[in-house]
Each structure stands twice: as C-alpha cells, then as structure tokens.
Amino acid sequence: MSDNSNSTLNDTAKADAWIRDHRDCVKPRYRLDYHVMPPVGWMNDPNGLVYFKGQYHAFYQFYPYSSEWGPMHWGHAISDDMVHWKDAPVAMAPGSTADRDGCYSGSAVDDDGKLSLIYTGQIFDDGDIKPFNTEFSETQNLAVSEDGIHFSKYAQNPVIPAAPSDNSRNFRDPKVWKHDGRWYVVIGSSTKDNEARALLYSSADLREWKFESVIAHSEGKIGEMWECPDFFSLDGKDVLLFSPVGMEPEGLKYHNVFQTGYLVGDFDYASGKLQHGEFEEVDRGHDFYASQTFEAADGRRICMAWMNMWQTPMPEQADGWAGAMTVPRELHAVDGQVRMTPIKELESLRGPVIADVAAPLSNDQVLAAPKENRCEVLFSADVPADGNSKIGVSLDIGTDHDVSFTYDAALGRLTLDRGGEDGVRAYDCGKLEKLDLHIYIDRSSMEVFVNDGLATFTSRMYPATAATIKAVAPASGLNGKVRVYALNAMR
C-alpha cells in the first residue's frame, strides 16, 4: 500500500481551526519571547528535532484543546536559524488503529528527501486517557511527508508492533539515526521486573525492523523506566542520553520528580552493547526533561528539552497554555562529561547593552533592570582568595523571595534558589578560581551556564514585577565584570 493511506488531515485540520479560534484568548502574563512554546494549550516533550531541506523543524507533544495534558498530537515549529521560530500546522493527531489515544514521542529523519516521523502510538485499555494511567499498549509507527508540513501515516503501521517478551508495557519514544547505510532506533523500555533499559533495533527502510540488543540497562541503580532515549557520537565518545523514572534523591542529586542524564562510553555495533561510565545528570535545575538532540547543518550536536517538570505547579495553565522548550544548546564531551553551551546563533537576539559594569562589584549592587524580564547576562569574577565567600547574582522579581544563583567557595557548591517550597537545586562542583556565568532570562524562565558548560541550571520562575538584577558579593567587594544585553523577541 502507499504511504499516503490513512491520512490524518481531517483531525489535524480540526486542531488547526481550534488554534486559530482560541490563540487570542491566551493571556501574556508569563509568555516567553524567544523560546518555542505552544500557541495555545499544553506542550511537553520535544519531538522530531531535525534539519530538513534548509530549515530546522521542532515538533512537540501537544494537546491544543486545554492547558491540561490530553490525547497527544504533534505540534510543529520551523526556523531558519534555530532561534527565530514560526508556528506550522499541526503535524499529527491521534485516531488511527495504531494510535487511537495518542501520538506519543519520537524522532524525525530525512529519508531520501522525505521527512519521516517515527513515533509511539498509544492505546489505553479502558479508554481512560490520562497521564500516568498504567493500563496501555504501545507500538512504534511511521508518518511521512514530501513537503515537511503535511504528513500521512503509513498504512501498515505499526512498524514495530511489540517489545521483547520479557518487556513490560513501557515501550516508547523511538530515536532513529543512520550508521553505515542502515537505520537504527533506540527505544525506552523496562522489563516485567521494573528494570529500566534501552532497546536497539535496525532496519533497511524504516518499515521492517529487527531487534538487535539491549544497548544498556539500569543495573538496579538508574530508575525503573527510561523515557526519551537518545544515542549519538560526540567528540570521539558515544552517549546515551535519557530521562529515567523512579530515582530517589541521593544527596544533592535527583531532586526533580523525574531526572535527565547520560551515560558516556564506547559502543560496539557488532555486539550492540555500550561500555559506559556512571550516570550523570545533564542539567541541575528544576525544569529540564525529555531532552532530544539533532545535528545542525554544520554537524554540531544540538540539544533542546522540555522546560517544565511533571507533577509540579505551572501557573501559566490559568492563562490558557503550558510548557516551553529550552534554548538550543551545543553539546561537547569533555573528560567523560557532556557539557552544554548556548548556540552562537542566539547572539542574533541581542539588542542594546543595558549594563556594562566593571570591578569592584559590591553586594546588592544593582546591575540592570531589563524591561519585560528579557535579557542575556554575562558575569565573570575571580573567586576571592579567602575561600569562604559566596558570589553570583540575584533577581528581585517582586515576590517573597529573590531568585539567586551563587557559588559558595567554602563548600565548592553551585546553588540555584528560586524560593518557595522545593526551591533549591545545588551541585558540588569543587574548587573554582573563576566564576563565569552565561544567563538567559525570558519572562518566566532562567537558564544558567557555568564555566563553559561545567554545569547548567534550567528553571521556570513566575515574577510579579520586572526583574532587578543585583550582585552577590562579599563585604570586601568582588573583582568582576558584568555585561547585560536586552534581547529582542523572536516573534
């Protein structure tokens, strides 16, 4: 049969009509100005990040009809530069026999000039479509587009109808790549004994798949299910990036509802096994989940993630929308760690310099007051020789508690504190001689990059007023400098 059978045109047209009729009802209070977010309704995982025919495509888990989670569609945005994004028509809606209750997460590839989406279809046993319902079945499916806008589901879906016999119901989030002329996909899963793992399959044509191996598993330490696995080579190493479910807090680690992190090592295609080191979180903030990577036009490995977290307050839901993506980050492998830095293209957002402050910096010194909480902060300071100082920046956002990011030299600890219950996230990075912070603030979000990617912290915040940015410094002052750029909105 043709790939053009079983089209979802009518269902996506219904969703597009709803968006047109309701987008003006969304309140702007916490809307972001240079991040991908839904025009209306609910967003979670980024899907299908890909460079195709000269443009970047970002798909995402989407429910247009409410700011609460619902049956998953695929939303869609397109960009020429990974910075300025425009909404595109809804790419997929649930409703076929393979995805009756949701078109769940997956990936996209350029298959000889056709944009091909590989995604999880979900069917709930009792028809009760709600998050965290455990009575479901999951299969892997294919949809294809000639123009990158309009997609048709493959008539013979599912292309991978079932997991191995020892698998639980968890079998989702396919990420596809090509190696030596053959397609490979890694899929998140768990065994019937709740052992998390990543499954590897291969195919010649994206339609008939062969099970290859368990690429890696949790060994009883890394959760009971791995969502959104992603596998790629980076600076001579192989990386498995994923979001484990079911990890308990351990010291300063794993304090989000769910985590996102990676294993770095060496992969053997003959055995299908990844020899790897210890699991590490890739971002230390509150709101970073379900990350996905792709190759930019020049070969850089780029990452984006959902900038929210399950089962946490989302005040924007009262305004008719929820969810956003992080800014794109470039990845590198350094000394066994995956480091993230903002892509250079973000500099195209820069407007005027609104602060250019040199040493000495004093505690509570006002550095800038950006309008609309939209700015880029470059902070650089020598760590005082006394070894006991706390340095960094704070934001007065008109709430009961300032938002602050600091380095405590006595503890060797980086801390983001956004106030409120469960407001602190911290990471013991060890002794630093210099603290360089690259911070992006966008109305209700804050993304902090430390010392060229040594650590990153991504968190949402909900200001009552425009922010005032201040220095955190010892009483003796701080040898440092700060430059703040106003940023232009991407839309």
Which element (helix H / strand E) includes 481?
strand 480-487
Q: Indicate if 417 belongs to the active site.
A: no
What gap in Å lies between CA 387 and CA 95, rounded to an integer? Answer: 61
What gap in Å lies between CA 172 and CA 226, rounded to an integer? Answer: 9
| Residue whose C-alpha is closest to residue 301's, from 265, 342, 325, 331 | 331
| Residue whose C-alpha is closest to residue 138's, from 185, 175, 101, 181 | 101
Residues linked to residue 428 through DSSP beta bridges, in sequence order:
413
**24: exposed, middle or buried (Cβ count in 10 Å: 0-12, 13-18, 19+):** exposed
Q: Is residue 318 helix, strand or coil?
A: helix
Q: Is residue 46 helix, strand or coil?
A: strand
Q: Which of 45, 173, 396, 442 is catalytic?
A: 45
**11: exposed, middle or buried (Cβ count in 10 Å: 0-12, 13-18, 19+):** middle
User: Is the Cα torsion angle 194, 196, 201, 206 positive or negative in sign?
Assistant: positive
Q: Is residue 290 helix, strand or coil?
A: strand
What gap in Å lies between CA 51 and CA 136, rounded to an integer? Answer: 33
Catalytic residues: 45
